[in-house]
Amino acid sequence: MIENITFDVRERSSLAFAREEVLSDYRTGWLSRHVSLIGRREVMSGNARFGVFGDGKEVAQLAMAHVMRPGDIRAGYYRDQTLFFALGLLTPQQFFAQLFGHTDVTADPSSAGRLMNAHFSTRLLDSDGSWVPQLTKPQSSADISPTAGQMPRLVGLAYASRLYRELDDLRNLVQFSDHGNEVAFGTIGNASCAEGFFWEALNAIGVLQAPVVISIWDDGYGISVPNEYQIIGGNLSALLEGFRRRPGADQGFDLYTVRGWDYPALRKVYLCATERARAHHIPAIIHVTEMTQPQGHSTSGSHERYKSPERLAWERAHDPLAAMRAWILEHGLAAPKELDAIESETRAEAEAARERAWEAFLAEPRAEARELADLIAAVAPTAPDPAAFQRMATEMRAARKPLRRPLLATAHTALVQTRGRSTPARERLASWYHEQVARGRKRYGSHLYREDAMAAARVPETPVRYADGAPEVRGFEILRATFDYWLARDPRVCIFGEDVGALGDVNQGTSGLQQKYGPLRVSDTGIREATIVGQAIGMALRGLRPIAEIQYLDYILYAISPLSDDLANLHWRTCGGQAAPVIVRTRGHRLEGVWHSGSQMGALAHLLRGMHICVPRDMTRAAGFYNTLLRAEEPALVVEVLNSYRLRERLPANIGEHTIPLGVPEILRPGDDVTVVTYGACCAIALEAARALEKVGIDVEVIDVQTLLPFDIHGIILESLEKTSRIIFFDEDVPGGASAYMLQHIIEVQGGFWHLDAPPVTVTAQPHRPAYGGDGDYFSKPNAEDLFDAVYALMSEAEPARHPPLY
């Protein structure tokens, strides 16, 4: 047993610091500082829109860089530029490119101009979507802005190392891990430690004993709010004591406190913490105190507004680079003139990087401005005010920093003013305008979903097959057989969640699988939905295929931030540079009570763009979706129907192999009078209503959409509407939820309006949550009688003699 250690930051390190190594650090620290200072200037001059920088955090990050190895991975936030410079993962020119918003992925490899500056990542996928080897350099998961939002995924980034170390079947995945010897590094600001995600992640990491080194950059404030308003007692080190790993214990963290300006102490702390995390999978928290923030939080405000003169003077006296300079001089590692030269040279280097980034950023828009000027000048002779058009052309040629937004606005103005004039010059201008708009949409909108061979849309359909005399089994048995197939076939697949392991999930979909595959493949977790999803994100980023269970759809709201802010837009915000093929498994719709009968599908369809949302009506279709998704590498949510686990279904002969294409509705019952569009648990109710309507002479076509994201990509529902000319959207979400989402797709996007002989109708749940009991369900959720009446009313209006009013 490795005992916990106590570290006194007043001790001086016994590390031998080579002069060249120290001066290289000093150079990198000052290069980063000049980048911060110049970056703020660029924002204040109007060349950039917003800036946030890592000044004051340089020395601690230099120490961290010394202990990160190839394959280690970071989940951090927007103060970590020095770390990236020190590791060679980012150049100053690339930093400035992101500050300016350059949309070339080579210029800004982290986000291709899609994110505010200082949001960092490394590219884990190559241009064709294949995984690149992760052991060639240190890596970074993609940053997000929501405070502490990086913490949930840190759980999985680190836990993956445990799986790679302890599961023999993963040892051949050498492109992702060196036998689990990688450490995940998390960074967070002191004020963000007040967020629940921080504490939930610490608890999960401590329980899992995942190899993490978490750094807290503590400069005493959260924007303008000091620590005493953020943390009980204002002292994070004291508050964290409950997480300390006690001698002989199997859980908990090594805890360290060290000052952010103390270079040798920082080097020793990071070496000690990382060696123990790497060798023994003992997580560590390093509370880096007495940090400074020379330029305040960001360019949106000045810290002189809320810091006292005494505090500002203290920060100047404790600047980490000034303290490092004093330490270098004290130990005779360099002369003052040598350090002066480093500071001067790095300023020039940062300025040159800014200039290169600026010129590269403007090169293409300048060319487009000249092109637009020529087009407008060509249109001028036939324009209503030729002189005004010539002035527009002159302004375009003279523009110092021609952003595309004013270029397109100018082109649009020219087209509006020349409307009704059909000339070759105007046609060329219109063509240029539409081409530029299309390019811009793609420039900022590509890669929301996979565009390569691992897209779910590329998985071929394999219809379900049944043997003669196929037995009827309970729905959960079909799911269990499917999960069994994948656990046996692919050692990367892991299933985890509340009650998933020993119990086999509350509906028995994983029963017996933990006993068969072990607790690392089929795992129980604590009640911690946000970090269940985060754990899956981190594991998937490191090459694993997690299926994360959220026990009920209602509780997915606990995890909506990591799902929406992190997972759903990961591929988009990295412009195809990262992917986390997480499958979130849950169950919903109808059971009992307010928080076990959720159907908040409209909200999820909007919040989770970038994920697929599958809403199978039974377990055979759920299994087909799992088979499709596990053959692809995209994130998805699968919502199983709560009351279908005990219903009998025929057992497929090709369990694990049959696939269902996403975005392809299924016609459950053909009909000629009215189209009813629905999904999930409502399918059975719609079929019940259709049978009742048939008895009164109304022929209903019932369509199961099967997936909400994507939605009816081949226009199957539109074809039905062309036949029936009447449509009802039947949905147990609240009014305006998924029903409005589906209606907009069919009536507006697909042009269904032109085929309507009657207004489209929605039949939905009530606006309140579902009440308890059978009667509560009946009056809260839409039922067969509600649908019957809605369909009958449409037909009564069309043929009142044949269908007289019911009431």
Q: Which residues carry out catalysis? A: 596
d(CA 160, CA 188): 21
- Greatest C-alpha distance within the chain: 104
Map 706-768 to HEC letters: CEEECCCCCCHHHHHHHHHCCEEEECCCCCCCHHHHHHHHHHHHCCHHHHCCCCCEEECCCCC
Asked if 510 contacts 134 with a C-beta cutoff of 8 angstroms, the reply is: no
For 523, the 3-state DSSP assignment is strand
Task: List, edge to edge, every strand of the sheet that includes 73-75.
Answer: 139-140, 73-75, 184-189, 212-217, 284-289, 254-259
Beta pairing partners, 762: 729
For 638, the 3-state DSSP assignment is strand
Residue whose token pair is 């859980």: 251
d(CA 605, CA 734): 13
- Strands 284-289, 212-217: pairing is parallel
Q: Tokens at residue 67, please?
A: 């202990």
Q: Which helix (H) or strand (E) holds 675?
A: strand 674-678
Helix axes 58-67, 263-280, angle to 10 degrees: 40
Residue whose token pair is 């892991």: 494
For 668, the 3-state DSSP assignment is strand
Contacts (Cβ under 8 Å, ≥6 apart) of 610: 448, 449, 567, 568, 569, 570, 571, 572, 635
Torsions phi, psi for 268 (to 5 deg)? -70, -45
The secondary structure of residue 256, as a DSSP letter, is: E
The secondary structure of residue 624, as a DSSP letter, is: H
Beta pairing partners, 139: 73
Q: Which helix (H) or strand (E) holds 497?
A: strand 493-497
Q: Tokens at residue 120, please?
A: 């960092």
DSSP per residue, 554-618:
GGGGGGHHIIIIIITTHHHHTTTS-----EEEEEESSSSSTTSS---HHHHHHHTBTBEEE--SS
d(CA 726, CA 714): 19
| Count of other CB atoms within 10 angstroms of residue 647 | 14
For 98, the 3-state DSSP assignment is helix
d(CA 39, CA 96): 7
d(CA 209, CA 281): 6
